[in-house]
Chain A
């Protein structure tokens, strides 16, 4: 059977819309994921600008408070499930087969389905904005009783989350199956590039965490419509149990967002420092340790809910433990740069920026982990500042760096370096202007998810809003640069970067439609 069909490996494939609708090719599906997540990034970004416009001044001026709540909720859901998670699945699709010397993902048709669930899911979520009662407005954490009381939009949100969850589960099953079974001969586990390792571990986090979210929102749905009382004290249920279940998913989820970005940075820094990654094995074990710990710290999100003191103490110390493997990783990145022959092309700027800004977010995380301190900080803008440093500074900068790093490989053209540097600096300045003042707002007591605030918070809010618009509009430079690179530009060599190491750089730029049909031999 294999022999008779083996000669079908030519570059024939459907063209036009069919190429994308029916694609089973990891490169095409990767491209689809990347564009989808960029569109969601813009949609979510516009919602952020609505939020920041309302918060430019105290008082209510731009939107109605209920719409404001819909914006904070849907912004977060769109950014997490529409942008931050899919962008790394897109990168995985493009890169994993190239990096492990496989012809494609292990399950090409499942891959097609994983992607094509996303646009309908996003549509369901977004059309709920136009329904009676509007979109979900209880915050992305959809705590009952508020989420049980919401209108029909909440049901659409639940269905959308289910679909995006199924997509993530199928995507992660595909990734795990690919990495476990499709590696080229000689590519042992401890020879895999860090990006492959971090994705393998993220895959395991996804298959464990997403079904828990699915369970939680299913119970929410039955509480809403089918007479159950999982979370309703009147029927013997408990709303705090929802919080436990949600965060049992939610904390691993934040590591799902950051681990692949760690992987990207571990590819970029050695390339531009022209040195092998310092402490490769410790990197792998640190990543695995972080993943393990991420399952036993969830209740640090609910310190103020009234847990027994022993519970508070346990979750406090367990959370602080995460700083150890995280510190190992940061140390290793810095040690890789130490005495390297560094150059600062755009991907390297993003990687260094990521390490720097993520570390700031890590430190504010440690502050939040201190129980008595969190009693003060919880549900203030300090939390908002914390997670934007780790998610924007970490995850998004990592993803942007990855695009600049691999774009020449994908398109065969070099992007415009000057434009790339402008994009980097404006993004980093915009991001710090947006989120740094939010630390001060939080410490001073400004609550999150409220459309109005007391007068003394005005200046920092104005700075934050100006920063947000700068940040948003800078992304036009990114789009321009990517489009120009796809259309043309200086030819990229196969290796692209002087210091590049790994299988993907042995292929032509751009790589042909089918690659590694005969597996390469890894020494």
Chain B
């Protein structure tokens, strides 16, 4: 969509790679916390 592109291109390349790294770290973290909450109980 045109609108998406406009928004997307506001993010310069440097910002875009920064955003990617931030998101990657956070997603891994969220999944790890969720998994530990459950599997931490299973291995008790």
Report which A residues bind B (CB closer than 8 A): 1-2, 5-6, 8-9, 12-14, 22, 24-25, 102-104, 106-109, 169, 173, 176-177, 180-182, 207-208, 210-212, 214-216, 218-219, 230, 241, 245, 514, 517
Contact = CB atoms under 8 A, between A and B. Distances in A.
B22 A180 contact: yes
Contacts of B22: 106, 173, 176-177, 180-181
Q: Is the interface of A mostly helix, strand, loop or mixed?
A: helix
B23 to A, nearest CB: 6
Given A103-B7, A207-B29, A2 B23 contact: no
A15 to B, nearest CB: 12
Nearest to A209: B33
B11 A24 contact: no
B43 interface: no
Contacts of A169: 30
A5 B33 contact: no
Contacts, number: 98
13 contacts: A5-B6, A8-B6, A8-B9, A22-B1, A24-B3, A109-B4, A177-B18, A181-B15, A181-B22, A207-B29, A207-B30, A215-B33, A219-B41
B30 A25 contact: no
Nearest to B18: A181
B9 A230 contact: no
A208 B4 contact: no
B8 A108 contact: yes
Contact of B34 (A104, A107, A214): A214
B3 A216 contact: no
B7 A104 contact: yes
A176 B27 CA distance: 12
Contacts of A6: 9
A295 B26 CA distance: 18
Given A181-B19, A207-B26, A517-B10, A219 B38 contact: yes
B41 A173 contact: no
A212 B40 CA distance: 11
A215 B37 contact: yes
A466 to B, nearest CB: 44
B19 A212 contact: no
A173 B22 CA distance: 8
Contacts of B38: 215, 218-219
Contact of B18 (A109, A173, A180, A517): A180
Contacts of B36: 215
Contacts of B6: 5, 8-9, 514
Those 7 A-B pairs whose CB atoms lie nearest each other, nearest first: A215-B37, A103-B10, A211-B34, A181-B18, A211-B33, A108-B7, A177-B22
A5 B5 contact: yes
Contacts of A218: 38
